[in-house]
């Protein structure tokens, strides 16, 4: 902590005094810079500390005004996905910053006096609207208006539940809380899909377990949870889970995190040479729905959905003796694959292109390959996955 002040003109040296009210002690004498670094380790937590600077020159010494500051014992700092909003859980309250940490406002849950509760952890949405904080006694509070009002919540119902970690999607709609449920040890992971208003117990594994860490993607679809020797990921907001395994002799997972778009994750194994694993989301072809149809010169357009609103994937064969394939939107390059097998090709050139066609107007063409064909009847098999 650095204290600084205006030199005020023809000052030669400064004397600095610090202490509780009425008992200031000189900590620096005859220093020339107009700053002083406080050893915060020697400052008592949760108290107001007063300080004064006296200025001296050839004429004499002028006693300065008395100022004050408070030292907050911070338990945890969380940042919204954008970075503008930061949340601090501290021994004397909950603090929210809306300007990258330049200024802070205490946001104390209703009915809880300042200093009565130690706040151990918390999360906030990217715009600071939705906040959840947890006390060291595992009391959980939720705010839906940036800390203006609070409500006590019990994700585990009447069960005895201790919170180890919590995470939120960017907009706060999806939230996850993990820990230890001593009433029903199989229910130690809870997910909310309505901004923390209600909660559902999920069981990544149907056995007694204490989850230590969790994280969630910005859109809330991908959730990762870890325990001492278990590591699970859900790609559908907690409805189903896949166990993740690494080539390690012993696994004690900690420090779990996933990227905002959910395509990458990192987790530490503290039991085996302190290994760190980086995971990249792969194509989930086994989870896809496949459809197949035969293409002819007569069947020049195929829609994968029956209604206009759902016609996000469109294949257009075009017209003329050299029809051009114009379409098929791949909505997610991570989870989707386009595979086309064409038969009866011989001579000539017909361009095959991918194009976005959400409203029947093909745009943004990308040339994929040139196909040889000397007839107007391009017959083959199109296989696609959505």
What pLDDT, in 10s, does the model give residues 6-32?
877 788 999 999 988 778 999 999 998
**DSSP annotation of 310:** G
List all residues 6 or more positions away from 286 whose beta carbon is below 8 Å from its beta carbon. Answer: none
**pLDDT of 42 above 70:** yes
Residue 282 confidence (pLDDT): 56
Burial of 44 (0-12, 13-18, 19+ CB in 10 A): exposed
Choose the weakest-confidence range: 26-40, 128-142, 150-164, 340-354.
340-354
Please indicate whether residue 334 or residue 256 has the higher confidence score (pLDDT).
Answer: 256
Choose the weakest-confidence range: 35-44, 176-185, 272-281, 369-378.
369-378
Domains in the chain with CATH codes: 2-70 (2.60.40.10), 74-282 (2.130.10.10), 286-385 (no CATH)
Q: To the nearest whole number, what is the mean pLDDT of the chain?
A: 74
Residue 248 confidence (pLDDT): 53
Residue keyed to tokens 């206009």: 308
The average pLDDT across 224-238 equals: 88
Residue 281 confidence (pLDDT): 65
What pLDDT, in 10s, does the model give residues 181-226?
999 999 999 999 999 999 999 999 888 999 999 999 999 999 999 8
The average pLDDT across 240-267 equals: 78
Please indicate whether residue 323 or residue 131 has the higher confidence score (pLDDT).
Answer: 131
Please name which of 159, 96, 102, 105 lies closest in space to residue 125, comparing C-alpha atoms.
96
Residue 14 confidence (pLDDT): 94
What pLDDT, in 10s, does the model give residues 267-287?
777 766 666 777 776 544 333
d(CA 386, CA 45): 57
User: What band does 81 get if pLDDT is binned at 50, 70 and 90?
Assistant: confident
Q: Which residues pair with 190 in a beta bridge?
A: 177, 201
How large a percentage of the chain has pLDDT more than 90?
40
**DSSP annotation of 364:** E
User: What band does 72 get if pLDDT is binned at 50, 70 and 90?
Assistant: confident
Residue 351 confidence (pLDDT): 35
List all residues 6 or more positions away from 93 whose beta carbon is below 8 Å from its beta carbon. Answer: 106, 107, 108, 114, 115, 119
**Exposure pattern of 61-73 as b/e (b: 16+ CB <10 Å)?**
eeebeeeeeebbe
How large a percentage of the chain has pLDDT more than 70?
66
Residue 153 confidence (pLDDT): 95
Q: Which residues pair with 9 in a beta bridge?
A: none
User: What band does 262 get if pLDDT is binned at 50, 70 and 90?
Assistant: confident
**pLDDT of 344 above 70:** no
User: What band does 172 get if pLDDT is binned at 50, 70 and 90?
Assistant: very high
Please indicate whether residue 350 or residue 214 has the higher confidence score (pLDDT).
Answer: 214
Please indicate whether residue 307 or residue 113 has the higher confidence score (pLDDT).
Answer: 113
Q: HSE (CB half, 13 Å, CA atoms) of 183? A: 7
* pTM metric for this prediction: 0.63
d(CA 76, CA 86): 11
d(CA 167, CA 86): 14
d(CA 29, CA 53): 10
**pLDDT of 56 above 90:** yes
User: What band does 3 get if pLDDT is binned at 50, 70 and 90?
Assistant: very high
CB atoms within 10 A of CB 214: 25
Residue 202 confidence (pLDDT): 95
Residue 255 confidence (pLDDT): 80
What pLDDT, in 10s, does the model give residues 90-129?
888 899 999 988 899 988 886 666 556 789 999 999 999 9
Q: HSE (CB half, 13 Å, CA atoms) of 64? A: 24
């Amino acid at each position: 902590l650095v204290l600084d002040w205006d030199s005020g003109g023809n000052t030669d040296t400064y004397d600095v005094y610090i202490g509780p009210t009425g008992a200031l002690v000189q900590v620096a004498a005859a220093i020339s810079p107009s700053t002083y670094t406080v050893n915060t380790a020697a400052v008592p937590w949760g108290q107001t500390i007063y300080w004064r600077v006296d200025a001296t020159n050839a004429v004499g010494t002028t006693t300065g005004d008395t100022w004050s500051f408070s030292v907050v014992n911070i338990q945890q700092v969380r940042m919204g996905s954008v970075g503008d909003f930061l949340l601090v859980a501290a021994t004397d309250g909950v603090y929210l910053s809306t300007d990258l940490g330049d200024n802070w406002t205490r946001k104390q849950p209703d009915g809880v006096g300042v200093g009565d509760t130690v706040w151990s952890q918390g999360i906030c949405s990217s715009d600071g609207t939705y906040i959840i904080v947890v006390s060291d006694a595992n009391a959980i509070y939720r705010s839906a208006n940036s800390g203006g009002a609070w409500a006590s919540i019990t994700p585990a119902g009447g069960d005895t539940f201790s919170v180890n970690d919590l995470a939120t999607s960017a907009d706060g709609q999806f939230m996850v809380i993990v820990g230890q449920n001593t009433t029903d040890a199989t229910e130690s992971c809870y997910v909310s899909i309505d901004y923390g208003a209600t909660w559902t117990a999920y069981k990544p594994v149907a056995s007694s377990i204490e989850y230590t860490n969790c994280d969630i993607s910005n859109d809330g679809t991908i959730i990762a949870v870890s325990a001492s020797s278990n590591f699970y990921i859900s790609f559908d907001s907690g409805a189903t889970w896949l166990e993740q395994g690494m080539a390690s002799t012993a696994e004690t997972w900690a420090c779990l995190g996933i990227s905002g778009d959910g395509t990458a994750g990192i987790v530490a194994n503290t039991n085996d040479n302190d290994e760190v694993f980086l995971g990249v989301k792969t194509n989930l072809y086994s989870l896809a729905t496949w459809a197949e149809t035969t293409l002819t010169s007569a069947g020049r357009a195929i829609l994968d959905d029956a209604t206009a609103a759902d016609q996000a994937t469109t294949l257009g064969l075009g017209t003329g003796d050299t029809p051009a394939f114009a379409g098929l939107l791949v909505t997610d390059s991570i989870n989707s694959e386009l595979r086309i097998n064409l038969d009866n090709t011989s001579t000539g050139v017909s361009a095959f292109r991918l194009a976005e066609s959400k409203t029947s107007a093909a745009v943004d063409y990308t040339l994929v390959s040139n196909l040889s064909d000397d007839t107007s009847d391009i017959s083959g098999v199109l296989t696609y996955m959505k």
